[in-house]
């Protein structure tokens, strides 16, 4: 079952959301109205005679039930339950249910009862709600009955949607991985051949051309990273930052003194892990669509900071006016990064892109996974396949 085939259930567009919620609450009002008409208080005057009054009660109570349902769906479940704060989830849920039952008592006492008596042509005297009164607890139990029912239904629907969306994300990730593996197989060159060839080139250029030798060494490090680490689902953040440094160093050699690069990277990454090659396409994009288009004074600024398990990245590059892109079009590299962030880090990232006339700014906040040093790390690179200069 594809989520796009059922937009009424899964689509986030406001039209579908309004229609979905309105249908749910309309069903609940009708169902509860018929249910109230079957209570002893209404059945004495006949089912059909009491149905209009019970429907009115249901419409008024709906606001109390909306409070509980949305508190569970949009606060307790996403902010507490999904984040595995189980004790806090239980306590908060109980408090919301009790508060809903108290609100039901107040609605009964001060809204429903006066309206009912007015429709029956009788006078009604408002009394203060007394918690030691037997009617108060009876009304609370009645409120608990309705609150637990609608709260349970709403929470169940929310959880089923979240679980189904997670399953679809996992399936999409599997498809993306299979597609990536197929692309690698199509362009596969044996690593042993690559590193031996690079080693030979390095040996020939080490004395005659030190700059070329340095570029070959840097290229070898990048290839080794792509071949041996990028196939892991997560790698140490320090390795990803090292890859960025190697790539930037190669670009600086290519541009010479014309390019101004400012790197501010953290010295300690605190055992944080990140999906491989997630940040590099952003840096590569800044060179491809920024520095390479500027004839004079190309510049790039990259700053990465860590706060707890949250990583903050700010990337700025200058560009020419002719390189200004249409809104929402950021190139294939950034589009791929956006897709990977949505699949791998749902609700754990914030990506904002500012495409001004002369500067391109990328701000990324990412909640990363922190692992203990004793946990299993990616398999080391076989020494026999490493160049002698690595």
User: Among 336, 369, 364, 366, which Cα is nearest to 348's?
Assistant: 366
Pairwise CA distance, residues 288 & 35, whole Å: 66
Q: Which residues of the chain carry a pLDDT beneath 70?
A: 1-6, 8, 39-45, 120-138, 181-200, 203-204, 290-296, 320-331, 373-390
| Inside any domain, residue 390 | no
Pairwise CA distance, residues 253 & 257, whole Å: 8
| Inside any domain, residue 319 | yes
Same domain, 34 and 166: yes
Domain range for 73 is: 3-174
| Inside any domain, residue 128 | yes
Q: What is the pLDDT of residue 192?
A: 56
Count the helix, strand and coil residues of the chain and give each as a percent rounded to the nearest 5: 65, 10, 25
Same domain, 116 and 40: yes
Backbone angles phi, psi at 362, to 5 degrees: -120, 125
| Inside any domain, residue 182 | no
Same domain, 22 and 93: yes
170: β partners: none
Pairwise CA distance, residues 292 & 384, whole Å: 37
The domain spanning residue 268 has which CATH number? 3.30.565.10
Same domain, 101 and 208: no
Pairwise CA distance, residues 95 & 84, whole Å: 18
Residue ending a domain, among 174, 206, 241, is: 174
Count up the domains in the chain and report the number: 2
Q: Is 375 left (phi over 0), alpha (psi -120 to 50) or beta?
A: beta
CB 237 within 8 A of CB 311: yes
Same domain, 166 and 214: no
End-to-end CA distance of the chain: 49
| Inside any domain, residue 184 | no
Same domain, 320 and 205: yes
Residue ending a domain, among 143, 174, 205, is: 174
Pairwise CA distance, residues 362 & 353, whole Å: 5
CB 185 within 8 A of CB 216: no
Q: What is the pLDDT of residue 386?
A: 39
Same domain, 39 and 144: yes
Q: What is the pLDDT of residue 209?
A: 74
Strand order in the sheet with 272-274: 235-236, 272-274, 369-370
| Inside any domain, residue 349 | yes
β-pairing, 235-236 vs 272-274, is: antiparallel
Give the three-state DSSP class for 353: strand
| Inside any domain, residue 377 | yes
Residue ending a domain, among 147, 174, 201, is: 174
Same domain, 106 and 253: no
Q: What is the pLDDT of residue 48?
A: 75
Same domain, 238 and 91: no
Backbone angles phi, psi at 378, to 5 degrees: -55, 145
355: β partners: 360
| Inside any domain, residue 179 | no
Same domain, 166 and 209: no
Q: What is the pLDDT of residue 273?
A: 94
Q: What is the pLDDT of residue 328?
A: 44
Q: What is the pLDDT of residue 279?
A: 92
User: Among 284, 297, 289, 287, which Cα is nearest to 258's?
Assistant: 297
Same domain, 247 and 158: no
Give me the helices (H) in 38-130, please: 40-43, 47-71, 86-107, 113-119
Same domain, 222 and 332: yes
Give the three-state DSSP class for 163: helix
């Amino acid at each position: 079952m594809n989520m796009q085939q059922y937009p009424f259930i899964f689509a986030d567009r406001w039209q579908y959301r309004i229609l979905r919620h309105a249908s749910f609450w309309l069903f609940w009002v009708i169902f509860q109205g018929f249910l109230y008409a079957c209570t002893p208080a209404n059945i004495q005057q006949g089912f059909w005679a009491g149905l209009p009054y019970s429907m009115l009660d249901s419409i008024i109570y709906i606001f109390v039930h909306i409070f509980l349902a949305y508190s569970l769906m949009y606060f307790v479940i996403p902010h507490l339950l999904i984040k595995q704060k189980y004790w806090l989830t239980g306590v908060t849920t109980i408090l919301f249910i009790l508060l809903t039952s108290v609100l039901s008592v107040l609605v009964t006492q001060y809204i429903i009862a006066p309206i009912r008596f007015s429709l029956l042509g009788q006078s009604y005297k408002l009394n203060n709600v007394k918690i030691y009164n037997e009617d108060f607890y009876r009304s609370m139990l009645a409120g608990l009955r309705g609150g637990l029912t609608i709260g349970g239904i709403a929470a169940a629907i929310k959880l089923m949607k979240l679980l189904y969306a997670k399953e679809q994300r996992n399936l999409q990730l599997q498809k993306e991985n299979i597609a990536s593996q197929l692309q690698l197989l199509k362009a596969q060159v044996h690593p042993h051949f690559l590193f031996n060839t690079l080693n030979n080139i390095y040996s020939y250029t080490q004395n005659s051309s030190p700059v070329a030798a340095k570029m070959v060494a840097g290229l070898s490090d990048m290839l080794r990273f792509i071949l041996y680490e990028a196939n892991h689902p997560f790698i140490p953040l320090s390795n990803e930052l090292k890859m960025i440094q190697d790539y930037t160093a190669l670009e600086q050699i290519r541009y010479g003194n014309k390019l101004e690069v400012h790197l501010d990277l953290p010295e300690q990454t605190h055992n944080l892990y990140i999906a491989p090659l997630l940040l590099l396409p952003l840096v590569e994009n800044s060179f491809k669509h920024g520095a390479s288009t500027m004839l004079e004074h190309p510049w790039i600024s990259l700053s990465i900071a860590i706060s707890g398990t949250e990583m903050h990245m700010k990337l700025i590059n200058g560009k020419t006016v002719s390189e200004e892109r249409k809104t929402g079009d950021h190139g294939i590299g950034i589009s791929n990064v956006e897709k990977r962030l949505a699949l791998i880090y749902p609700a754990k990232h914030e990506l904002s892109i500012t495409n001004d006339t002369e500067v391109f700014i990328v701000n990324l906040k990412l909640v990363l996974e922190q692992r203990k040093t004793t946990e299993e790390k990616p398999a080391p690179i076989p020494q026999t396949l490493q160049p002698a200069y690595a």
